[in-house]
Amino acid sequence: MPSKKKNLSSYTPEKIPDAKNMRFGIVVSEWNTEVTGALLEGAVDTLIKHNAQRENIHVSWVPGSFELALGAQYYADQNEVDAIICLGCVIQGETRHFEFISQAVANGIMDVGLSFNIPVIFGVLTTDTMEQAVARSGGEHGNKGTEAAITAVSMVGLRDSLSK
């Protein structure tokens, strides 16, 4: 378990491929926008930092985390992006709804990636509290949106290196 002060989003920028010619679709949940908006900001800022062109970053919003997989599938169907980043936030409540949604979202996102042979990145926070979500969306534990963007760039880089 991470210490309370550990930034989980630390990485070595020099190890990340150049994203200049990469195209990204980002699907963001409207639920918990305080958190998902911060995740989006982290993802976009990170893509730009690694030379992605703004015109190659396409953002779409969906009602909730459950809809992220279908939103990702819409991007994959168009075949105009190299990777898709899914950003959402599911916070534990008093019922088992959290468990069902979290599992369905994870499976749905994975299924889209495997079905379309494209990186579809799971940037969804599944936390016990809003405070934990805030800490992981630009707070003391970093930004899961940054991590998702790094993963997307890295996976496209891997695909490109294997196709040479």
Provide CB contacts within 8 A for 135, sequence distance 6+: 141
Q: How far is the C-alpha of 164 from the C-alpha of 149, rounded, in Å? A: 23
Environment class of residue 10 by beta-carbon count within 10 Å: exposed (0-12), middle (13-18) or buried (19+)? exposed
Q: Give the strands of the sheet with 57-62, arranged side by side.
A: 57-62, 24-29, 83-91, 120-127
Residue 70 tokens, joined? 């279908």
**Catalytic one among 50, 58, 97, 141?**
97
Q: How far is the C-alpha of 85 from the C-alpha of 123, rounded, in Å? A: 7
Could you write out the DSSP letters of every residue in 119-147? -EEEEEEEESSHHHHHHTEEETTEEHHHH
Annotation marks residue 97 as catalytic: yes
- In 3D space, the residue among 161, 154, 160 whose CA is nearest the CA of residue 47 turns out to be 154
Residue positions annotated with a catalytic role: 97
